[in-house]
Amino acid sequence: VSRKEELRVLIIGLDKSGKTTLLEKIKGLFGDTPGLEPHAILPTVGLNVGRLEAFQAQLLLWDLGGAPGLRSIWDKYYADSHALLFVVDASQPARLEEARCELERALASRELFGAPLLVLANKTDLAPEGGAGSSARLGLERLEGRASRVQPASALSGAGVREGLQWLVEQVR
């Protein structure tokens, strides 16, 4: 992906994991970057898009609805994505297995082959240690041929958000 080209980041995760909050936080952090006119589009139910400039890259972030009925639309966007941002609620260990299944399904998609994966272990403001176990429990050690990283974060406070996004941009560049 060249500097001029738009870098498309697909945000997925279970419902209530914090995807929309994250996208709004990212818009707030980077949306007023000089030289870029920030805008957000809300074209359809279950899809939220953010266009902004961050770390000298032109980003398009897609936040897809995570409710069970909407998960089937995820793969329609896979082919157009360069990087994957999976949001997991680190304060809800009871849903980690469900999250692992969804992540596995996404990673099995041929369209996402080789795309770098950032797992945002979100809501660590509620569960400071919640990010630690996420890597093993999401099965990330078994990933091959794909850059991946777990970033403890809080979409609410913004902690960890810049670091995670920067890592992801650097993997694609």
Binding site for ligand GDP (CB under 6 A): 13, 15-21, 66, 122-123, 125-126, 154-156
Closest distance to ligand GDP from the beta carbon of 55 (Å): 21
Closest distance to ligand GDP from the beta carbon of 34 (Å): 28
Q: In what order do the strands lie in the sheet with 39-44?
A: 39-44, 47-54, 57-64, 6-13, 83-89, 117-122, 148-152
Q: Is 20 annotated as a binding residue?
A: yes
* Helix 161-172, helix 19-30: angle, nearest 10: 80
Q: Is 13 annotated as a binding residue?
A: yes
Phi, psi of 153 (to 5 degrees): -155, 170
CB of 81 or CB of 122, closer to ligand GDP = 122
Q: Is 80 annotated as a binding residue?
A: no
* 3 state SS of 129: coil
Task: Point out the residue whose Cβ comes nearest to ligand GDP.
Answer: 18
Task: Decide if 130 contacts 124 (C-beta within 8 A).
Answer: yes
Closest distance to ligand GDP from the beta carbon of 77 (Å): 16
Which amino acid belongs to residue 56?
Answer: Q
Q: Is 16 annotated as a binding residue?
A: yes
Query: Binding site for GTP: which residues?
Result: 13-20, 66, 122-125
